[in-house]
Amino acid sequence: MAVGNFPFPKMHPVKGVRLASVQAGIRYSDRDDLVLLALAEGSEVAGVFTQNAFCAAPVQLCKQFLPGEIRYLLINSGNANACTGDQGLADALASCTQVAELGGVGAGQVLPFSTGVIGESLPMDKFAAAIPKLFPALADDNWNGAARAIMTTDTRPKGASEIIEHDGRTIAISGIAKGSGMIKPNMATMLAYVATDAKLPQAMLQALAKECVDGSFNRITVDGDTSTNDSSILVATGASGAVIESEQDPLYPLLRDALKRVHIQLAQSIVGDGEGATKFVTVDVRGGAEQSECVKVAYSVAQSPLVKTALFASDPNWGRIVAAIGYAGVEGLDDRAVTVHLNDVLIVENGGCAASYTEADGQREMDKDEILILIELGRGDAAAKVWTTDLSHDYVTINADYRS
C-alpha cells in the first residue's frame, strides 16, 4: 500500500553517469536485483551513512574508500550483508574486485551497497555470474530500471530529477532511492543515489550531501527503527562543463536548492511508500527557541505509536498529540502558549481544546489521506518538519512475513 502523489518522473540523463540492472537471483525471482552505476573519470563522490553501530560490511568499505577516485557503484537488493563478520567484508570486497577487473580500475574505486535481510551471507556465485552482464547493459537512460532493481518491500520506484539553466549551460540533477520500512534517522533503511553533471570540489560536495540529508532523509520516520545499511550518495561528474569553485559562485545557490528539492522529493516518496501506510503525514513544528527542540517535538509526535494508530483509524484523538508534545522533553514549555492544527482546523489552544473546535471538523481532516499536524510552540522563531505515516495492520503483516 502506498499514499501520496509520487509518480516516477521523467528522469533527465546526467552526463557522465550510466546505469545497468540485471537479474542475479539473490533473493527475488523474475526481477532485476543487481545494479551498476558507472561514473565518468574525474567524478567526485560524497556519502552519508547509517549511525547504527552494527553497520553493514558494504557501509564499512564505503567509509574506507571515500573520499577517493570512485568509478563504479554496485548495488544489490535482497540481502543486506549486515552482521556477517569478516566473511561479509571479504564478500563485499570480492564483488568490488570483480567489478574493478572488468572496468579496468582499482578495487578501491568501486563502492558496494546492499539492502535486504540482515545476517545472511551473500550468494557470491550469483554475483560472479551476474556482474559481467552489467557492463554491456550500461546506459544513461536506465534510471527507472535501477530504481526498481534496488527495491525490497517497496511497492513503487522512487525518483526525482531537475534541470538548471545557467550561463548558457544545462545542468542535470537526477536521483533514485529505495526505502519502505525500518525508517528512522539518523538515516533509514534506505539507499539513495543523486548525481549532477556540475563540477564541485569533494569537500564542498560532502558538505552539500550532509546538508541535503539533514533536511530530507534525516527528517523522516515510518517505524522508529534505524537500519544497518543506510547510505546516501551524491555524485558530481563535471561532464556538463559547469564548474563551481566556491560558495560565492552564482551557480552554487541554484544547485544547492535544486539538490535539496531532489532529496526532499525522494525522502517524501519513501514515507509515502511506508510499509502498510494509508496516510502521508507532515508534522510541522514552529515557534521553537532553537531548531533542535522543534525536531525533538516533531519526532515525539511522528513516532508515537498512539498517534500513529489514531491516524490509521482516522480518529481525531488530539489528546495523544498533546501528550507526545508534552513528553518530548522541551524544558520550560508553556502549554498555554502551544497551539495545534489539523490541516486548517485549530484543535488546541490555551492549554486545552480550542473553543472553535468540533469533533466533526477534526473527523473531516483525519479522514484525508494527507494530513498536516501544525504545532506552534510560542517560544521563538525556529522551525522543523518531519514526515511520517500512520501505523496499520499491514505494517505488522509485512514485517511478520518478510523472511518467508
Which one of the listed residues 189, 278, 282, 389 is annotated catalytic? 189
Sign of the Cα torsion 99, 102, 103, 104 reads positive
Q: Contact, 30 vs 162, CB < 8 A? A: no
Q: Are residues 332 and 287 in the same domain?
A: yes
Listed residues 272, 298, 321: the one ending a domain: 272
Q: Are residues 128 and 240 in the same domain?
A: yes
Task: Kindly state the average pLDDT of the residues 106-131.
Answer: 95
Q: Are residues 297 and 243 in the same domain?
A: no
Neighbour tally for 319: CB within 10 Å: 12
Report whether pLDDT(135) > 70. yes
Number of domains in the chain: 2
Q: Are residues 147 and 48 in the same domain?
A: yes
Q: Are residues 347 and 373 in the same domain?
A: yes
Cα–Cα dist 38/63, whole Å: 19
pLDDT one-digit tens code per residue, 258-275:
999 999 999 999 888 877
Q: Are residues 292 and 163 in the same domain?
A: no
Report whether pLDDT(2) > 80. no
At 397 the pLDDT is 73
pLDDT one-digit tens code per residue, 33-79:
999 999 999 999 999 998 778 889 999 999 999 999 999 999 999 99
Q: How many H-runs (helices) and E-runs (strands) does the chain carry?
A: 11, 16
Is 189 an annotated catalytic residue? Answer: yes
Q: Are residues 96 and 235 in the same domain?
A: yes
Burial of 299 (0-12, 13-18, 19+ CB in 10 A): buried
Tell me the pTM: 0.89
Q: Contact, 377 vs 284, CB < 8 A? A: no
Q: Are residues 68 and 164 in the same domain?
A: yes
Cα–Cα dist 231/225, whole Å: 15
Q: C-alpha grid cell for residue 398?
A: 509485512
For Cα atoms 61, 63, 67, give the angle at the middle one, nearest 5 degrees: 115
Q: What b-and-e string marks burial along 32-65, b requiring 16 or more CB atoms within 10 Å of the CB?
A: bbbbbbbbbeebbbbbbbbebeebbbbbbbbeeb
Q: Contact, 217 vs 233, CB < 8 A? A: no
Cα dist from 9 to 164, 266, 371, whole Å: 16, 11, 23
Mean pLDDT over the full length of the chain? 92
Lowest mean pLDDT across 224-228, 311-315, 357-361? 224-228
At 153 the pLDDT is 81
Listed residues 245, 272, 299: the one ending a domain: 272
- Domain limits for position 185: 17-272
Share of the chain above pLDDT 70, in %: 94
Report the candidate in 41, 38, 44 with the shortest Cα–Cα distance to residue 139: 38
Cα–Cα dist 114/110, whole Å: 13
Is the omega angle on the peptide bond into residue 67 within 30 degrees of 0, that is, cis? yes
Q: Are strands 191-196 and 220-221 parallel, antiparallel or unpaired?
A: unpaired
Beta strands in 215-369 (DSSP E): 220-221, 231-236, 280-288, 339-342, 345-349, 352-353
Q: C-alpha grid cell for residue 377?
A: 510552540
pLDDT one-digit tens code per residue, 168-191:
999 999 999 998 655 455 444 589
Residue 288 lies in a domain: yes
Cα–Cα dist 157/382, whole Å: 34
Residue 5 lies in a domain: no
Backbone φ and ψ for 165, nearest 5 degrees, come out as -105, 125
Residue 4 lies in a domain: no
Listed residues 272, 289, 322: the one ending a domain: 272
Q: Are strands 382-389 and 280-288 parallel, antiparallel or unpaired?
A: antiparallel
